[in-house]
Structure 1
Amino acid sequence: MSDRVILTTSSHLEGYRVTEHIDIVSAECVFGMNVLKDMFSSFRDFFGGRNKSSQDALREARVACLNELRREAESMGANAVVAVDLDYSEISGGGKSMLFLVATGTAVKVAKA
C-alpha cells in the first residue's frame, strides 16, 4: 500500500493543484460478518445501545477499502484521489450476512501549488 497517494472527499486539495485528471477509480470490498458478531448484534439491536463489534467491522472495512483504492490509483499513475465517496450495503440471506463496501473517486496527479 502506498502512503504517497493522498485521499480526500473534497474536490480539491489545499496547497496543491491538479495537473492531470486520470480516470474514475473504485475499490470494492466484501466482508463476512461472523456468526458471533451477528448474534451479539441481534442482542444489541433488541436491548439498544452501540454495537462495538459491528463498529469495528465497519472501521476495518473502510480502512481496507481505502487502502485498495490507493493501490488502484497508484497503478494508474495517480498520486491523489479526489471526491472520494464510500457506499456501504449489507447482503444477507441463507443465514449469512456480508458487508459490501465500494469506494470511488477521481484519480489525479497533483503538484504543490
Structure 2
Amino acid sequence: MYNHMIVTTTDYIAGYEVVEILGIARGSTVRARNVASDFFAGLKNIVGGEISEYTKLMADAREQALKRMINDASKLNADAVINVRFMTSTVMQGAAEILAYGTAVRLKKIV
C-alpha cells in the first residue's frame, strides 16, 4: 500500500476483485537541471562514474509524479491504481517531464 492506496504495476491484486474501472490516474512533474549539478556532472564525465546529483533529481521527480497520480486517483474515489507505468520526455534542453499513470479502480475483497 502507498498512503492507504494500493499501487501496482500488475493488472490484478491478489485477494481482491476489480469491481469498477474509474479511468486513468496521472501525475507529472517537469524538472530542470541546475548549474551546480551540471558542474559536478561535467567533472564526473571526465573521471567516469554515476552522476548522483542527476540520480537524486530523477528519483525525487518520480516520487512527486507518483504522489500526484495517487492524489488524482483519490479524487476519483479509487481504492487502487493498477498497471502503473512511468514515462519521461524532454520538454526543452535541460528539462524533462516525468509522468506516472495507471488505471484507477475500485476493489472488493475476495472472501
CA RMSD of aligned residues (A): 1.5
Structure 2-normalised TM-score? 0.88
Equivalent AA in structure 1 for residue 36 of structure 2: L
Question: Cα deviations across residues 54-84 of structure 1 (Å, max 9, x unaligned)?
Answer: 1111111111110000000000111110000
* Contact 2:28 2:64 (C-alpha < 8 Å) held by counterparts: no
Residues 1:39 and 2:39 aligned together:
yes
1:1-113 counterparts in 2 under 5 A?
3-93=3-93, 97-113=94-110
Paired with 2:40 and 2:109, the residues of 1 have a C-alpha distance of: 48
Paired with 1:92 and 1:48, the residues of 2 have a C-alpha distance of: 26
**In the superposition, relative to structure 1, how do residues 7 and 20 fare at CA in structure 2: closer, same or farther (>3 Å)?**
same
Gaps of 5+ in 1: none
Paired with 1:52 and 1:22, the residues of 2 have a C-alpha distance of: 38
| TM-aligned CA deviation for residue 16 of structure 1 | 1.4
Equivalent AA in structure 1 for residue 102 of structure 2: G
Paired with 1:7 and 1:25, the residues of 2 have a C-alpha distance of: 11
Paired with 1:92 and 1:39, the residues of 2 have a C-alpha distance of: 19
Paired with 1:3 and 1:58, the residues of 2 have a C-alpha distance of: 21
Q: Which runs of 4+ in 1 moved over 4 A?
A: none
| TM-aligned CA deviation for residue 28 of structure 1 | 1.8
Structure 1-normalised TM-score? 0.87
Equivalent AA in structure 2 for residue 29 of structure 1: T
| TM-aligned CA deviation for residue 50 of structure 1 | 0.7
| TM-aligned CA deviation for residue 111 of structure 1 | 2.3
